[in-house]
Amino acid sequence: MTALRFGLVLLALLGATSLQAVEKNVVQRIGDALSPGPLSKSHANLETTLGCMSCHSLNKGVSDLLCLDCHQEIKSRIDQQLGFHGLNKDKECLSCHGEHKGRDTKILELGQVDHGKLKLPLGGAHLPLKCEQCHQEKFQSQTIRSLEIKGERKKNQTFLGLEEGCNSCHGKAHGPQFEEKVCTDCHFDRGWSLTKFDHEKQSQFKLRGQHTKLNCKACHHKDATHKDFAPFEKIDGQCSTCHFDPHQGRSGKECNSCHQPESWKKFLDTKKTNFDHDKTRFKLIGKHGQVDCEKCHKDRGHKDFRIGGFNLCTDCHKDQHQGQFAADTCIDCHNLKGNFKQGFDHKKTKFPLETLHGEVKCAGCHPKGNYQMGEKASCEGCHYEVRTVMEGRWLNQEKQPLGPDPMFRTLNCATCHKTTEKGISYSKVRKACVECHNEHFGDLWDYREKKYGPRKTNLSKEEKEKRLKRTHRFGDFVPLEEK
């Protein structure tokens, strides 16, 4: 009996402390008995006895009005006849959103959605995409992202809030450009790289030659000025906008005045384009202006007119002096008209030209283009026959060397021959002799002139030999009977 009482008291105490739990368990059991199955995660919070009434009406089943009491965003679309729900306002919610099929069941029957009837029909690259790839929270409007249902922010996915414009998902790829256009004006939905933009009709820059082979990004790309987007609008059509200017602005901005778009190395016919060579680093002056392009730009035709070296005359011209002068001194003697400079100053050389020599042509002293005379830059250097006579290397009548004239190394030629005078005559030489010797020596000159007569031209070698002996060492050749 004592044991029975103890058990009843313990049961009473346990029943008093767990009445609420028992009651909840009973309600749960009743709900389980009436529910056709567990609700999805989206509606799991409604699995209570009263929660059933959130969707079910007595004797009427599931009511669309009760669904829309919570889903006000859908109700707004239906009222405005917008989107899928607006187009299907007569369909019951249960026809697409079935419940009581388990916690992990998705209650969206998206296969029934005909995107072709919506404002953005799916085509091209959009067609193979899954719904969730576009219907993401980051693409939705702020209004949809802030949706609340009965005071709680909606956490589960919604397919609302996407705008029909490309920018809502793809952003503004071109930045502030093309504000008055839509993407489909230029692009196909099959892919961004496919474009229906007609450069020939819609641009001031017509594509020619090598430009037709380029991808858009080759010209339209980000740079230091456009860090966030590639420029397409208001691009300067000058070549230097994209290409480095090797001429550094000397040839102006109109590259097509020389170059062709087929290739930089393909040049226009400069004879027809009146190319201004003065814009280059080598101005055409004098004879250079009369030369055909191909004479300087050899073996290039209209392919490549670049010349490696042109600062020195010898870069193009053969050195006729065979290294006698420095390569950068041609202009000291020559002018660009193809002649020697007028008034070349021979006084700057080792052999200044006096009046007599000034009348002689250059080739008279430099017959083989030898302008660095060295020891020959003297009277004897040119008048070598006289030197031979004075040194006594010619033979006398007995076929013996005469020996050097005793005065040859003492007096220079200018003692008797005044190069500052115009021409040489016997009378002028006689005067010089008398000044040093006496009048009797002048008489010898008079005798010689009377005996042999004045100097003749076109003498033979033998006659020239005799004349030189008689004039420069006539004392040695006066016959004994005449002395």
The pLDDT tens digits of the residues spanning 15-36 come to 444 444 444 455 455 556 667 8
Pairing of β 152-153 and β 263-267: unpaired
Could you tell me the residue ranges of all domains in the chain? 21-113, 172-235, 383-482
**How far apart are alpha carbons 373 and 446 in whole angstroms?**
37
Backbone angles phi, psi at 469, to 5 degrees: -65, -40
Instruction: Give 98's pLDDT tier (boundaries 50, 70, 90).
Output: confident
Backbone angles phi, psi at 395, to 5 degrees: -90, 150
- Residues 6+ positions from 267 with CB-CB distance below 8 Å: 258, 259, 260, 302, 303, 304, 305
Q: How many CB atoms lie within 10 A of CB 151?
A: 5
Contact 439, 426 (CB under 8 A): no
pLDDT reading at 301 higher than 50: no
- Residues 6+ positions from 312 with CB-CB distance below 8 Å: 327, 328
pLDDT tens sequence across 154-191: 665 678 878 778 888 888 888 888 888 888 888 888 88
Most confident of 143-157, 264-278, 424-438: 424-438
pLDDT tens sequence across 324-338: 777 777 877 788 887
Instruction: Give 475's pLDDT tier (boundaries 50, 70, 90).
Output: low
120, amino acid identity: L
Q: Which of 261, 169, 247, 174 shows the shortest CA–CA distance to 210?
A: 261
Q: Which of 285, 293, 283, 297 shows the shortest CA–CA distance to 338?
A: 285
Dig out the tokens for 330 from the structure: 């041609």
Instruction: Give 283's pLDDT tier (boundaries 50, 70, 90).
Output: confident
Average pLDDT over residues 209-232: 86
- Residues 6+ positions from 480 with CB-CB distance below 8 Å: none
- Residues 6+ positions from 233 with CB-CB distance below 8 Å: 177, 178
128, amino acid identity: P
Contact 388, 379 (CB under 8 A): no
pTM of the model: 0.45
Instruction: Give 14's pLDDT tier (boundaries 50, 70, 90).
Output: very low
Contact 454, 426 (CB under 8 A): yes
Instruction: Give 383's pLDDT tier (boundaries 50, 70, 90).
Output: confident
468, amino acid identity: L
Which helix (H) or strand (E) element contains residue 433? helix 426-436
Q: How far is CA 353 from CA 33, 139, 186, 342, 345, in A?
A: 137, 96, 82, 15, 9
Strands (E) located in 68-181: 148-149, 152-153
Q: How many CB atoms lie within 10 A of CB 426?
A: 14
Contact 379, 412 (CB under 8 A): yes
| Calculated CA dihedral for residues 385, 387, 389, 394, nearest 10 degrees | -70
Buried/exposed code over 167-178 (b: 16+ C-beta within 10 A; e: otherwise): eeeeeeebbeee
pLDDT tens sequence across 41-85: 888 888 887 788 888 887 778 889 998 888 888 888 889 888 888
HSE-up (13 A, CA, CB side) for residue 475: 7
Instruction: Give 480's pLDDT tier (boundaries 50, 70, 90).
Output: very low
Dig out the tokens for 129 from the structure: 């995409």
Q: Which of 240, 180, 191 shows the shortest CA–CA distance to 216?
A: 191
Contact 220, 230 (CB under 8 A): yes
Backbone angles phi, psi at 191, to 5 degrees: 165, 150
Which three-class secondary structure state does DSSP give residue 188? strand
Contact 200, 206 (CB under 8 A): yes
At residue 16, the pLDDT reads 44
Please provide the average confidence, as pLDDT, over all residues in the chain: 76
Average pLDDT over residues 95-116: 82
First-to-last C-alpha distance (Å) of the chain: 198
Instruction: Give 8's pLDDT tier (boundaries 50, 70, 90).
Output: very low
Instruction: Give 395's pLDDT tier (boundaries 50, 70, 90).
Output: low
At residue 331, the pLDDT reads 79
- Residues 6+ positions from 429 with CB-CB distance below 8 Å: 416, 417, 445
Which three-class secondary structure state does DSSP give residue 263? strand
Instruction: Give 11's pLDDT tier (boundaries 50, 70, 90).
Output: very low
At residue 434, the pLDDT reads 82
At residue 5, the pLDDT reads 47
